[in-house]
Amino acid sequence: MRKFLKNITAAVIIGILMLNVFPYNVGLFSGLYKVLGIDETSFVCAEEFFVVKDKRACWVSFLDLEEYLVDLDENSYRAELDKMYDTILANNMNTIIFHVRPMCDAVYPSDFFPWSTCIRTDRSAPPYDPLYIALTMAHEKGLSFEAWINPYRVSRNYETTLSYQNTEYYDLYKDLIVEYNNYDGELCLSLDPAKKESVELICNGVAEIVENYDVDGIHFDDYFYVDGLYDELSVSEKMSNVNYMISSVYETIKNINPECEFGISPSGNMDNARDDGADIDTWLSSDGYIDYIMPQLYWADDYVTTDNEAVNLFSERCDAWQNINILDKPIYAGLALYKVGVSSSSDVGWTLYDDNLLRQCQKLYETGYDGFAMFRYANLCYSNTNAELDNLNSYVETISFIADDTGNDMTDDNEDIETIAYNEVKDDSFALVFKDIIIDSENPDILYVTYMKGFGIGSLAIDGRLSVMDGIGKGMDAVGISLNVSDFNEGIEYRVHICGGDWTSWARDGEISKGIGSNGIIDGIQIRLYGQIKDVYDVFYRVGYGGDLFSEWYMDGEIAGNIGMNTYLDSLEIKLETK
């Protein structure tokens, strides 16, 4: 059902966005419906739509911390983060996956782990909290923030092993730590996955983050039973130990903050993932383990095997993961930005083409994925990725996906269902006219959509229903409003006020006021009718400021909002009433 809803509602927003960009390209609009397998004349929708977040994430790895953020004073740290976040936003991403505990260490003051060498090479405490600053700055820019943890890993080579052994925590946790050799034969350390004390330490560390920081999620990657660590164990034994840890972490998070997501990014090779103890089949068919999965699909579709056979490896593995997603959990793909332009005797597509990422995203959304994550931040800044990113951004900027997030089953038996038919573009504006909305009302119908900072579409609403992205506390940065009136000389117009800025020019009949992707958020709005309709109807509207705080009702061009009070709008209700 969720995949069906995503396809249905994707058509709504793709239609709005594409007609705003290409107002006369009816053939393109029809083609999008055909791709989605939807009748372009009508479809089923509910009273109100909410975002199923189209996550477009960037991994900020410990390698990025070492490259950009290590050993900085607070002002320099903030300035560098500001540049990083602006780069991420400029590439149409809305989520940061920030490495907060790479190797049983921490980029925040912890009761359980030493300071990370990624923040201070000598493991000394900085005179500020790097995690709090990174999180707060991300939220201020409308970015979602997930704390990325490697649960078992203590070290990754001889140098990091020696560094950890020189901390007091090595002696404290020595009974939990096991040694193994990596590919290069270097001594490495890991928490023992079989010990319940290891799980307790991991859960304590997760609880410390969720209790003290308003993170949007906890994120694990693919380091479970790595090569060299208890290779003699059976896969079922590994999975049993890892599952106990994963379910314990899930329970820990939900007991503290049920809204905080828990997701895992396992190896994209499903056999390798299972061999490492990642019980992906159980996680995607049983509750109580994860909220989302993000397989690392780090291949192009132009892949040559050792037998010289050409394989569409990305697409094959993309399909394979969705096929085991029994509970239809949110699924995102990890994409290999770091491979762009890099020569390979097998994965040849990265040097043959500059639209690999674009085609991969098209495949993802066609297959029912909910978004993607790029590995890693630094590669956004390298010149060899420019062409791939430009092509990808040109595609991403035209899409956003919405669906009913209320838990209601949107079936043909639902009394709240309405059928909406799309018609031609109104005159020479960028509006999409909704003439045939079937509801029990003799009044013209008003349809409006809000755009939420850093997240895209908030929700599509009709006639006095609330338009909001529920529960994330982010402000609006644009709106679009339309009436289903047939007279081209009457309609609705509106403008918005930007926090710390000025009023936009008046927009009309579905045009986007304020422009998606600009940096400001809205603290005021005016809405009024024009033409003959204003002699028959009044337009009423009110705005929300977060949670359950709403303004009074305003009408016919009055200012709604708290301009100059440093408060942003996060929801909108509009209705028409006869005079």
CB 482 within 8 A of CB 510: yes
Neighbours of 193 (CB within 10 A): 24
At residue 369, does pLDDT exceed 50? yes
| Lowest mean pLDDT, pick from 128-132, 356-360, 404-408 | 404-408
Q: Give the pLDDT band of residue 15 (cuts 50, 70, 90).
A: very low
What is the pTM assigned to this prediction?
0.67
CB 449 within 8 A of CB 480: yes
The 3-state DSSP class for residue 502 equals coil
pLDDT confidence of residue 454: 56
DSSP 8-state code for residue 46: -
Q: Give the pLDDT band of residue 356 (cuts 50, 70, 90).
A: very high
- Chain segment 51-68, per-residue pLDDT in tens: 345 799 999 999 999 999
Per-residue three-class SS string for 309-377: CEECHHHHHHHHHHHCCCCCCCECEEECHHHCCCCCCCECHHHHCCCHHHHHHHHHHHCCCCEEEECCH
C-alpha triplet 95, 389, 365: angle, nearest 5°: 65
pLDDT confidence of residue 13: 41
Q: What is the mean pLDDT of residues 479-486?
A: 80
At residue 410, does pLDDT exceed 50? no
At residue 560, does pLDDT exceed 80? yes
CB 29 within 8 A of CB 16: no
pLDDT confidence of residue 473: 53
pLDDT confidence of residue 516: 53
Residue 141 — φ and ψ, nearest 5°? -95, 5
| Lowest mean pLDDT, pick from 7-11, 329-333, 340-344 | 7-11
At residue 264, does pLDDT exceed 90? yes
DSSP 8-state code for residue 175: G
End-to-end Cα, the chain, rounded Å: 42
Q: Go through 12-48 and write b for each residue having 16 or more CB atoms within 10 A of its CB, e for each that does not.
A: bbbbbbbbbeebeeeeebeebbeebeeebeebebbbb
Alpha carbon distance 536, 529 (integer Å): 10
Q: What is the mean pLDDT of residues 395-399?
A: 72
Percent of the chain residues topping a pLDDT of 70? 78
- Chain segment 133-159, per-residue pLDDT in tens: 999 999 998 899 999 999 999 999 999
pLDDT confidence of residue 35: 31
| Lowest mean pLDDT, pick from 145-154, 208-217, 363-372 | 363-372
Neighbours of 552 (CB within 10 A): 8
- Chain segment 282-328, per-residue pLDDT in tens: 999 999 999 999 999 999 999 999 899 999 999 999 999 999 999 98
Q: Which domains does the chain have, with CATH numbers?
A: 2-52+405-578 (no CATH), 55-151+196-396 (3.20.20.80), 153-192 (no CATH)
Alpha carbon distance 435, 440 (integer Å): 14
